[in-house]
Amino acid sequence: MNADAADRRKAVRRTTIILVAIALAFYLGFILMGLLRA
């Protein structure tokens, strides 16, 4: 694997982790909002 491919792989992993975190934050955030309001 050349350096470019390795960098791209790292970038793909980093972006994926950030996006998964955003999705989880929305999911848990809205349930938490429901909990606080109930």
Partner 1 sequence: MTTAVADAHDAHDEHHGPQKGIRRWLFTTNHKDIGTMYLVLSLIMFFVGGTMALIIRSELMSPGLQFVHPEFFNSMTTMHALVMVFGAVMPAFVGLANWMIPMMIGAPDMALPRMNNWSFWILPVAFGILISTLFMPGGAPASGWTMYPPLVLQTGDAFPFLIFAIHLLGISSIMGAINIIVTILNMRAPDMWLLKMPMFVWTWLITAYLLLAVMPVLAGAVTMLLTDQFFGTSFFLAAGGGDPVMFQHIFWFFGHPEVYIMILPAFGVVSEIIPTFSRKPLFGHDSMVYAASSIAFLSFIVWAHHMFTVGMPLTGQLFFMFATMLIAVPTGVKIFNWVATMWRGAMTFETPMLFSLAFVFLFTIGGFSGLMLAIAPADIQYHDTYFVVAHFHYVLVPGSVFAIMAAVYYWLPKWTGHMYNEKLGKLHFWLSTIFINVTFFPMHFLGLAGMPRRIPDYSTQFANFNEIASIGAIGFGLSQLVFVWVILTSRSGAKATDRVWEAPRGLEWTVPSPAPYHTFDTPPKVRVAQESFE
CB of 1 to partner 1, least distance (A): 14
Query: Rounded CA gap, 15 and 27, in Å?
Result: 19
How many residues touch partner 1 (CB under 8 A)?
Answer: 20
**Three-state secondary structure string covering the chain:** CCHHHHHHHHHHHHHHHHHHHHHHHHHHHHHHHHHHHC
Residues in the chain: 38
Is residue 19 involved in binding partner 1 (CB under 8 A)? yes
Which residue of 1, 2, 5, 30 would you call a contact of partner 1, by CB under 8 A? 30
Residues that bind partner 1 (CB under 8 A): 8, 11-12, 15-16, 19-20, 22-24, 26-31, 34-35, 37-38
